[in-house]
Structure 1
Amino acid sequence: MAGLDISFYGSSLVSAYWNGAATYYRGVIRALAARGHRVTFYEPDAYERQQHRDIPDPDWARVVVYANDEDSARRALEQGRNADVIVKASGVGVFDSLLEAGVLEVRRPDATAIFWDVDAPATLASMRENPGDTLRPLIPRYDMVLTYGGGDPVIRAYREFGARDCVPIYNALDPDTHHPVPADPRFAADLGFMANRLPDREARVEEFFLKAAAKLPGRRFLLGGNGWGDKPMPGNVNYIGHVYTADHNAVNCSALAVLNVARDSMAAVGFSPATRVFEAAGAGACVITDAWEGIEQFLIPGEEILVARDGAEVAAHVDALTPERSRAIGEAARRRMLDAHTYAHRAGEVEALLVNGAHAGRVPA
């Protein structure tokens, strides 16, 4: 198909600071660019993200940073109005309501409008529970809703809100960005974990990470991410603060195992593997994850990933893990990712949707 001009309104493409969607955006957009599409990414100067950039403006997308005020947001909408495809992502963090309505107002009559939800549990909860939710009446006006996870429950929920179609475009691996590198002594650990401190993740982090650390006082645990500085921790936990994306491969390659802990809402919905799972697997790391429905769609438990139901099981996995088994699991996971779960695969799915709405993974109504 001929390359499309795409206007994309999201949180940030150039900064992962308090922005867990950055890896996902980069992977999808870079792969779309490789297929000949031209993406302009509009992002606000908010939450100190521009002061904590971890990549320069890329050559595979045009980045427009607009000031954190209503007039600037409206000007950004005007700049993107002539695109073939116009995307509003969830969780921009500022002027979301304005942008959600605005992309529908400015788009060309023949353009495709997409709401792309990177946190479907939170979005759906707001639409259900908040009578004043401004997105809910707009959903039927979008040509389609894409989500980065959720499976059948999310698809059905969006259709109940009037979505014309809802299709998960799952997280994936960009093998040019996340790949094996030599171990770095700065990040040496028996179990490494990276996540920002969020209210609906904290209790699960206490259970799956801190409890496991307390059970294995002779083992080394590494914690990276924003917001944990005042959190009481066992003495064998090394807290290193925010980890820039340039160091993610080194963290994933320097620990015996890497932990994934879903937020409460993501675990409850299922079929929502975090970007961290793909990053770590792409680096050949042995991943231990909390249990959630749908894991088998991405990685085989016991062969390509280890699954734990609580902190005691995390501790048991770490205690029993040898370097040889860790390496075997990590290599198997990397092979699976390269075979079926790269952003090149995801971009092909998005392109098919834009052409004719076809998607092999759709769940029938």
Structure 2
Amino acid sequence: MSAPLDIVVLGLSLASSWGNGHATTYRALLRAFAARGHRILFLERDMPWYRGERRDLAEPDFCELAFYDGLAGLDRWRGRIAAADAVIIGSYVPQGAELARLLRGWTSGVLAFYDIDTPVTLARLQRGDCDYLSPALIPDYDLYLSFTGGPTLRQLEEAYGAPRARPLYCSVDAEAYAPVATPRRWDLSYLGTYSDDRQPGLERLLLQTARQAPQLRFAVAGAQYPAEIAWPANVERLEHVPPAAHPEFYSASRYTLNLTRADMIAAGFSPSVRLFEAAACGTPLLSDVWSGIETILSPPEEIRLVRSTAEVLQALAQPEAERQRQADAARRRVLAGHTARHRAAELEAALRDCPASAPPLQPAEGAPGG
């Protein structure tokens, strides 16, 4: 058996899921990682917009969670960071570039970067406006864990000098996400924070569909949508749906829509957590189109790809038996390969296989865990 790992994660947020998808990703992954016998400290920058009622997981039962104010506030955790087998810094962490330079000097274990926004990160690096990473820092990370697979991994290694770039897609907590017996409220829903580059897709694939099919019902859930958006009368707006309510939200939808940011469409191989969570809840998916989606869910049996309002209307008109077949096929696929348990095993393997600045992580005979 391999020795349990002691890791420290510094991420955007674990405590608050308001307006970000990082929290649900970290929660599912780290809960499953802890279930494998490992010890986790999550350090979160105390930001005002994630405080108060927006903290919907103040005391996780799978890891230790602590908050810090500025880089100087990390001094109290220096010993723990220095002794960790691995330190993982996530994308969009405030002052992430300075943080990486600081912790590179503190830890002799694996220093990993977990990019939950890889194509966006690379686009920002090219523009020179990325404050949580720089091209010069990438070779200093022992491991680059990427939400995007495919050709982007080779780009990270060959163009940016990452010693090891490995995919670590998002996933679903299969114990938390499952079908819920609830009345169907919407024919098509969308769950996602507002984004300028996703809005044209939302307009074309959901709002225009709603205008052309006033007899159908729609929902858009998520924060930060501009007040000037003209919502059709048959589109229900929900400002925030907490993770605990996601299964009921998806289960109340005949279909749900997946929309992808422009940089991620360009890169391909960038599945959204919506794919896995909705499928686990037994809700069939309509999605925009990008390279590599067929490696996640196979169209049209497990997911319907839509490019136009007309194609959405055609999908919504499918017989119930066909809708159910698609939902069942997608759920089987996700539970067989895209749960948090699968990702936790992949993370452990990546950390154990990675040489650090100090001697690599060594398994101990007879130790629990593994």
Decide which moves more: 17-26 or 2-11.
17-26
- What is the alpha-carbon distance in structure 2 between the residues aligned to residue 335 and residue 131 of structure 1? 41
- What is the alpha-carbon distance in structure 1 between the residues aligned to residue 318 and residue 209 of structure 2? 14
- Once the two structures are TM-superposed, the CA of residue 316 in structure 1 deviates from its matched residue by 2.1
- What is the alpha-carbon distance in structure 2 between the residues aligned to residue 57 and residue 330 of structure 1? 34
Q: Kindly provide the amino acid, as one letter, of the partner of residue 92 in structure 2.
A: G
- Once the two structures are TM-superposed, the CA of residue 261 in structure 1 deviates from its matched residue by 0.5
- What is the alpha-carbon distance in structure 1 between the residues aligned to residue 233 and residue 59 of structure 2? 40
Q: Which residue does 1:181 correspond to in 2? A: 180
Determine helix, strand or coil for the equivalent of 2:82.
coil
1:23-38 equivalent positions in 2, closer than 5 A: 23-38=24-39
Identity %: 35
Q: Which residue does 1:276 correspond to in 2? A: 274
Contact kept, 8 Å, 1:154 with 1:269, in 2: the verdict is: no
Q: Kindly provide the amino acid, as one letter, of the partner of residue 31 in structure 1.
A: A
Instruction: Determine which structure has greater relative contact order: mean sequence separation of CA pairs < 8 Å that are 6+ residues apart, divided by chain length.
Output: 2
- Once the two structures are TM-superposed, the CA of residue 179 in structure 1 deviates from its matched residue by 0.8
> Aligned match of 2:304 in 303, 306, 318?
306
Deviation track 1:252-281 (CA, whole Å, cap 9, x = no partner) reads 101110111111111111111101111000
Q: Does the C-alpha gap of structure 1 residues 153 and 210 become closer, same or farther in structure 2, counting only changes over 3 Å?
A: same
TM-score normalised by structure 2 residue count:
0.89
Contact kept, 8 Å, 2:142 with 2:354, in 1: the verdict is: no
Contact kept, 8 Å, 1:260 with 1:288, in 2: the verdict is: yes
- Once the two structures are TM-superposed, the CA of residue 154 in structure 1 deviates from its matched residue by 4.0
Determine helix, strand or coil for the equivalent of 2:40.
strand
Q: Which residue does 2:154 correspond to in 1? A: 155
Q: Which residue does 1:4 correspond to in 2? A: 5
1:55-134 equivalent positions in 2, closer than 5 A: 55-67=57-69, 69-73=70-74, 75-76=76-77, 79-92=80-93, 94-108=94-108, 111-130=109-128
1:338-353 equivalent positions in 2, closer than 5 A: 338-353=335-350
- Once the two structures are TM-superposed, the CA of residue 321 in structure 1 deviates from its matched residue by 2.5
1:232-271 equivalent positions in 2, closer than 5 A: 232-271=230-269
Decide which moves more: 149-158 or 288-297.
149-158
Q: Which residue does 2:56 correspond to in 1? A: 54
- Once the two structures are TM-superposed, the CA of residue 32 in structure 1 deviates from its matched residue by 1.2
1:156-171 equivalent positions in 2, closer than 5 A: 156-171=155-170
Q: Does the C-alpha gap of structure 1 residues 13 and 221 become closer, same or farther in structure 2, counting only changes over 3 Å?
A: same
Gaps of 5+ in 2: 356-370
Matched residue pairs, number? 351
What is the alpha-carbon root mean square deviation over aligned residues?
2.0
- Once the two structures are TM-superposed, the CA of residue 123 in structure 1 deviates from its matched residue by 1.3
- Once the two structures are TM-superposed, the CA of residue 284 in structure 1 deviates from its matched residue by 0.7
Q: Which residue does 1:142 correspond to in 2? A: 141
Q: Kindly provide the amino acid, as one letter, of the partner of residue 345 in structure 1.
A: H
- Once the two structures are TM-superposed, the CA of residue 75 in structure 1 deviates from its matched residue by 4.5
Runs of 4+ in 1 over 6 A off after TM superposition: none
- Once the two structures are TM-superposed, the CA of residue 76 in structure 1 deviates from its matched residue by 4.9
Q: Does the C-alpha gap of structure 1 residues 75 and 213 become closer, same or farther in structure 2, counting only changes over 3 Å?
A: farther
- Once the two structures are TM-superposed, the CA of residue 13 in structure 1 deviates from its matched residue by 1.2
Determine helix, strand or coil for the equivalent of 2:328.
helix
TM-score normalised by structure 1 residue count:
0.90
- What is the alpha-carbon distance in structure 1 between the residues aligned to residue 182 and residue 98 of structure 2? 46
Determine helix, strand or coil for the equivalent of 2:8.
strand
- What is the alpha-carbon distance in structure 2 between the residues aligned to residue 212 and residue 132 of structure 1? 36
Contact kept, 8 Å, 1:89 with 1:116, in 2: the verdict is: yes
Gaps of 5+ in 1: 359-365
Decide which moves more: 17-26 or 72-81.
72-81
